[in-house]
Amino acid sequence: MPPLKLLMLHGYTQSGTLFHAKSRALIKHITKAFPQHEVSAIYPTGPLQLNPADIPGYEPPLQEGGQQSQPDDEPLEAYAWYRRSNTADPPLYEGLEGGLAAIAKVLKDDGPFDGVIGFSQGAAMAAMVASLLDNGRKEAFARFADPKVASEGFDVPQPVAGLPYPTSFESLSHPPVKFAICYSGFRSPGPRYRGFYESPPVQTPVLHVLGSLDAVVDESRSRALIEACAGDPEKENKVVWHPGGHFLPSQRPYLDAAVRFIRESMEGQGNGKEAQEEDVNDMDLPF
């Protein structure tokens, strides 16, 4: 059977193992929907192991006598693709190059992948990876190498250059992925990261699945990622809202939406009026 290979990117404080457990219903649904393919999902873990101090609101369990059982500098079984600096202005993602290099290694060793699926920080990474594999993306990064060009339109203390095209992707021979699905995704903010999203916008088809009650990722940041994708994702039925918070929904309508999007992307189908009407009729519940 032809393969359908998925790269699965976990969120901040998670791991590949934990994301595997939380996305089991999704992968099961995809596998059932594509019996003609051998579906496989690869779950790497981010290279940054987090400490309690890295996690907002983390409170370690107390020992007898009221003492904390875990110092703030003792690593947890929690990982990330990067850390956001608390002091940099404009925003800076510390360790992002290392996170991208870890993913590039998976693309090289286990690819080629048909699609990439991510949650939260992993969704942000999924969009960036899809962008990096787009044709012509190196030229986009080159445009923002000039600090004045990169910082134009941003209120920053002083101009900063855009991030250079990651060296780990320079020699990578992986083709563009056919699709990306971003659960609770967002755009990397500020002038440093414009190369991922502009001149041109992200060309890979992206499905955005967002929670209307998400209190972790601000809606404006998710909409910034939607606007960074080519075409009109809202009109093309590539934005799906679920009535919950910051999690990967496992209810049937949202699993069906992912399957439908993957099928359209794999088959190269458009998202015209006929496709939209079929989508609405096939839904168990309205979004």
Higher-confidence residue of 238 and 59: namely 238
Alpha helix (H) residue ranges in 52-114: 96-110
In a domain, 60, yes or no: no
Q: What's the domain count of the chain?
A: 1
What is the rounded distance in angstroms from the CA atom of residue 71 to the CA atom of residue 94? 23
Query: Looking at residue 227, what is its pLDDT?
Result: 98
Average the pLDDT over 235-263 and give the result: 97
Those residues whose C-beta lies under 8 Å from the C-beta of residue 122, and which sit 6 or more positions away, are 8, 9, 10, 11, 14, 19, 81
Note the residue count of the chain: 287
In a domain, 209, yes or no: yes
Query: Looking at residue 267, what is its pLDDT?
Result: 86
Question: With contact defined as beta carbons under 8 Å apart, do 19 and 125 qualify?
Answer: no
In a domain, 50, yes or no: yes
CA distances from 24 to 32, 60, 213, 217, 269 (A): 12, 28, 23, 23, 27
> pLDDT tens, 197-220?
999 999 999 999 999 999 999 999
Least-confidence region, from 85-89, 108-112, 240-244, 278-282? 278-282
Whether residue 281 has pLDDT greater than 70: no
Query: Looking at residue 75, what is its pLDDT?
Result: 73
pTM exceeds 0.85:
yes
Average the pLDDT over 246-275 and give the result: 82
Query: What's the CA dihedral at 201, 204, 209, 214 to 10 degrees?
Result: -40
Percent of the chain with pLDDT strictly greater than 90: 82
What is the rounded distance in angstroms from the CA atom of residue 198 to the CA atom of residue 187? 11
DSSP-based three-state secondary structure for 200:
coil
Average the pLDDT over 35-57 and give the result: 92
Token pair listed for 43: 């779950």
Question: With contact defined as beta carbons under 8 Å apart, do 9 and 130 qualify?
Answer: no
Say how many CA atoms lie within 13 Å of 237 toward its Cβ.
Answer: 24
In a domain, 287, yes or no: no
Token pair listed for 12: 């901040």
Whether residue 155 has pLDDT greater than 60: yes
> pLDDT tens, 97-146?
999 999 999 999 999 999 999 999 999 999 999 999 999 899 999 999 99
In a domain, 7, yes or no: yes
Token pair listed for 121: 């920080």
Write out the residue range of the structural domain in which residue 124 sits: 3-55+72-282
Query: Looking at residue 64, what is its pLDDT?
Result: 58
What is the rounded distance in angstroms from the CA atom of residue 190 to the CA atom of residue 162? 9
In a domain, 62, yes or no: no
Question: With contact defined as beta carbons under 8 Å apart, do 51 and 78 qualify?
Answer: no
69 — pLDDT class (breaks 50, 70, 90):
low
Whether residue 282 has pLDDT greater than 70: no
The CATH number for 108's domain is 3.40.50.1820
Angle at CA 128, nearest 5°, toward 126 and 130? 70
In a domain, 271, yes or no: yes
In a domain, 236, yes or no: yes
Higher-confidence residue of 276 and 123: namely 123
Token pair listed for 24: 């089991």
Least-confidence region, from 69-83, 145-159, 201-215, 257-271? 69-83
